[in-house]
């Protein structure tokens, strides 16, 4: 047989083609064809990132591709995010293995995205893995038993992880202080959300050889926690440290100072802190802290101090003067409630885990202690969070900020209240923007020109594919743009609260007409009451209308979903097969209970 034209291509061209494909597509398309192609694509067998697969693709990967590539896999990514139930499905298939090492002998890194209570059986199987990365979005609350098991297997078992990431999106993890202390001398890098400061102090005891630590503190705790901070318990090798909190009382400057001065090895230090403590706005306090850190080479902070009443503007001049006296390069700006103080320039290349900037449109009116540094183009900023707390703002103010950060990949706009309703001629360019989170507009009245500029203009955001928005906002938009379609968007997350009103069939019809090409659709509702009256009809509409749908999720945080089929498993199966249009040979993964309806096609 004559070789195909593809096989005649040089390795360099084949590898260039592979850059545009996912690892699954490469292995599925080119694997096991001949010795030369196997050798050429060998690097792609090491990374098994399967979290964007359809259910059929996942089954093919596990049944046909995994047996031929298992010994080569070094990094594995499993996810429930756009493939609900994937982690559970994988764990169920491997239930006869006591350790993942028996199936994947060279596995060094495992990432679990949107980990849930149903996935805990994978935790005892993590022996021989160097890096475990777990992200939990907080959409479905973790049981306390799940948190205890996470604490045990990650920090109190015999597993010697070198790197741990445990990012719990709602409330963090409360560690078990009563458990017997177990030290992991191998742990060098840790990213975690903890409940209180004393959990952070316990981590110092458990991981004395930390080199890099990224921690978020979720809530306020007693100041007595700092009594246990001594040089003896602090890590002796820590050089890269980031702390953040959005809980205004969680970490005072005095508490921060006590922790920092006991870690003199720090070279890179960064903070992202929301607080009531005015000491964070004193340049001399920062100067004193810096003087106690002899090895410090880089300092980066984003501070938001709540000192305003919401009635009149905040005078930022005393803060600017304070940092000028301390000779620290910062930019300072404020709305009517919060004063923002950021170090400049916005250069994140040294802080790879801290690539997010929280700011405000009022930065357009900022003052700085160093004009030259402030004018420098931001570098390495991946995510931008903008909030105005529903204060009236101009479109120009928002565009000013966005133009300063053109290379962000994720953008979150919160409490938006833009006064103009005019068309925009701004030459904004966000070429790398993938995901937009627009939560929420004042009175659910989304600003149509601004929204369309970001979402519908392919010159502005050519890579945009995911949108998160409040249900009331998007229905307001659809009613005013009844013939407009957002063809480019593939992923839509809708959040609803009591202020968004009832979900009715007529509005869902408008929504589906506006977003005809969705691959992933998720509803997260505060209460089932807004939906139960039309629940079955709405689900059928969604599943029958969207031809490209891969995953659908409906989650209610309060109350119970009411479907006539909930009590009968056979009726559930029949209904699912009908509304998903399945023939006898097709399968999907589904979960239907009182809190959740999830489908992975």
Report how far residue 530's alpha carbon sits from residue 510's, in angstroms, rounded to the nearest whole number: 17
Q: Kindly state whether residue 420 falls inside one of the protein's structural domains.
A: yes
Report how far residue 474's alpha carbon sits from residue 387's, in angstroms, rounded to the nearest whole number: 19
Q: Do residue 429 and residue 561 come from a single domain? A: no
**Both tokens of residue 280?**
């964070």
Q: Do residue 455 and residue 500 come from a single domain? A: no
Helix (H) or strand (E) holding 194: strand 189-194
**Backbone φ and ψ of 241, nearest 5°:** -135, 125
Report how far residue 597's alpha carbon sits from residue 539's, in angstroms, rounded to the nearest whole number: 9
Query: What's the pLDDT score for residue 1?
Result: 44
Q: Do residue 440 and residue 528 come from a single domain? A: no
Whether the Cβ atoms of residue 200 and residue 174 lie closer than 8 Å to each other:
no
Query: What's the pLDDT score for residue 39?
Result: 76
Q: Do residue 439 and residue 512 come from a single domain? A: no
Q: Do residue 490 and residue 457 come from a single domain? A: no
Question: Looking at the chain, how many residues does it have?
Answer: 601
Q: Kindly state whether residue 494 falls inside one of the protein's structural domains.
A: yes
Whether the Cβ atoms of residue 523 and residue 494 lie closer than 8 Å to each other:
yes
Whether the Cβ atoms of residue 510 and residue 541 lie closer than 8 Å to each other:
no
Q: Do residue 485 and residue 544 come from a single domain? A: yes
Residue 389 CB neighbour total at 10 angstroms = 14
Q: Kindly state whether residue 582 falls inside one of the protein's structural domains.
A: yes
Last residue within a domain, chosen from 463, 494, 513: 463
Q: Kindly state whether residue 13 falls inside one of the protein's structural domains.
A: yes
Report how far residue 575's alpha carbon sits from residue 540's, in angstroms, rounded to the nearest whole number: 9
Whether the Cβ atoms of residue 576 and residue 588 lie closer than 8 Å to each other:
yes
Q: Do residue 594 and residue 471 come from a single domain? A: yes
Last residue within a domain, chosen from 444, 463, 482: 463
Task: Tell me 416's DSSP state.
Answer: B
Q: Kindly state whether residue 440 falls inside one of the protein's structural domains.
A: yes
Residue 247 CB neighbour total at 10 angstroms = 18
Last residue within a domain, chosen from 463, 487, 506: 463
Query: What's the pLDDT score for residue 562?
Result: 86
Scanning 265-370, the segments in alpha helix (DSSP H) are 283-291, 317-325
Q: Kindly state whether residue 442 falls inside one of the protein's structural domains.
A: yes
Query: What's the pLDDT score for residue 4?
Result: 59
Q: Do residue 589 and residue 492 come from a single domain? A: yes
Q: Kindly state whether residue 276 falls inside one of the protein's structural domains.
A: no
Going by C-alpha positions, the residue among 89, 96, 98, 86 that lies closest to residue 123 is: 98
Spans of the chain below 70 pLDDT: 1-7, 33, 223-224, 352-354, 421, 423, 425, 566
The number of distinct structural domains making up the chain is 3
Q: Do residue 416 and residue 510 come from a single domain? A: no
Going by C-alpha positions, the residue among 409, 411, 326 that lies closest to residue 370 is: 326
Cβ-based burial of 424 (10 A; exposed 0-12, middle 13-18, buried ≥19):
middle
389: left (phi over 0), alpha (psi -120 to 50) or beta: left
Q: Kindly state whether residue 58 falls inside one of the protein's structural domains.
A: no
Which residue segment(s) compose the domain that 519 sits in? Answer: 465-601
Q: Do residue 491 and residue 565 come from a single domain? A: yes
Buried b (16+ CB within 10 A) or exposed e, 440-459: bbbebbbbbebbbbbbbeee
Looking at the DSSP assignment, which residues form a beta bridge with residue 367? 332
Report how far residue 555's alpha carbon sits from residue 436's, in angstroms, rounded to the nearest whole number: 21
Task: Tell me 379's DSSP state.
Answer: B
Q: Do residue 425 and residue 506 come from a single domain? A: no
Query: What's the pLDDT score for residue 365?
Result: 96
Q: Do residue 591 and residue 469 come from a single domain? A: yes
């Amino acid at each position: 047989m004559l070789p195909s034209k593809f096989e005649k291509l040089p390795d360099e061209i084949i590898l260039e083609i592979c850059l545009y494909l996912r690892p699954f597509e490469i292995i599925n398309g080119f694997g096991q064809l001949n010795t030369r192609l196997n050798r050429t694509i060998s690097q792609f067998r090491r990374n098994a990132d399967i979290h964007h697969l359809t259910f059929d693709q996942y089954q093919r990967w596990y049944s046909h591709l995994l047996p031929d590539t298992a010994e080569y896999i070094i990094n594995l990514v499993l996810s429930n995010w756009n493939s609900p139930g994937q982690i559970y499905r994988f764990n169920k298939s491997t239930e006869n293995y006591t350790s993942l090492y028996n199936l994947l002998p060279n596995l060094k890194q495992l990432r679990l995205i949107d980990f849930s209570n149903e996935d805990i059986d994978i935790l005892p199987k993590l022996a021989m893995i160097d890096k475990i990365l777990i992200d939990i979005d907080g959409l479905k609350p973790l049981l306390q038993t799940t948190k205890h098991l996470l604490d045990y297997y990650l920090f109190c078992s015999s597993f010697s992880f070198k790197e741990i990431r445990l990012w719990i999106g709602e409330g963090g993890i409360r560690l078990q202080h009563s458990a017997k202390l177990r030290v992991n001398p191998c742990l060098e890098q840790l990213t975690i959300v903890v409940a209180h400061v004393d959990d952070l102090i316990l981590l110092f005891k458990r991981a004395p050889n930390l080199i890099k630590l990224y921690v978020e503190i979720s809530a306020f705790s007693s100041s007595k926690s700092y009594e246990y901070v001594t040089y003896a318990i602090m890590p002796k090798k820590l050089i890269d440290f980031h702390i953040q909190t959005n809980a205004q009382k969680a970490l005072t400057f005095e508490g921060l100072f006590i922790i920092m001065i006991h870690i003199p090895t720090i070279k890179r230090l960064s903070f992202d802190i929301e607080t009531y403590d005015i000491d964070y706005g004193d340049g001399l306090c920062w100067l004193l802290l810096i003087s106690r850190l002899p090895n410090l080479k880089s300092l980066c902070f984003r501070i938001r101090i709540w000192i305003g009443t919401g009635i009149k503007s905040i005078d930022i001049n005393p803060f600017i003067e304070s940092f000028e006296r301390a000779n620290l390069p910062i930019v300072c700006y404020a709305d009517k409630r919060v004063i923002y103080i950021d170090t400049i320039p916005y250069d994140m290349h040294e802080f790879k885990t801290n690539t997010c900037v929280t700011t405000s449109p009022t930065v357009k009116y900022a003052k700085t202690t160093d004009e030259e540094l402030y004018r420098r183009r931001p570098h390495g900023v991946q995510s931008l969070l903008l909030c105005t707390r529903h204060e009236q703002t101009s479109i120009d103010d928002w565009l000013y900020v966005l133009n300063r950060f053109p290379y962000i990949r994720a953008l979150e706009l919160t409490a938006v209240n833009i006064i103009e309703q005019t068309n925009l001629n701004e030459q904004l360019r966000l070429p790398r923007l993938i995901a937009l989170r627009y939560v929420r507009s004042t009175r659910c009245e989304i600003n149509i020109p601004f929204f369309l500029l970001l979402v519908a203009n392919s010159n502005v955001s050519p890579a945009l594919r995911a949108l998160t928005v409040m249900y009331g906002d998007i229905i307001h938009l659809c009613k005013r743009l009844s013939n407009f379609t957002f063809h480019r968007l593939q992923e839509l997350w809708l959040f609803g609260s009591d202020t968004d009103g009832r979900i009715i069939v007529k509005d869902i019809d408008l929504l589906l007409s506006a977003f005809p090409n969705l691959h992933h659709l998720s509803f997260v509702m505060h209460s089932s009451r807004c939906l139960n009256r039309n629940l079955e009809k709405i689900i059928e509409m969604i599943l029958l209308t969207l031809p490209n749908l891969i995953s659908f999720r409906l989650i209610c945080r309060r109350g119970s979903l009411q479907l006539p089929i909930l009590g009968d498993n056979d009726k559930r199966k029949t209904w699912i097969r009908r509304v998903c249009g399945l023939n006898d040979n097709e399968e999907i993964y589904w979960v239907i209970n009182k809190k959740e309806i999830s489908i992975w096609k």
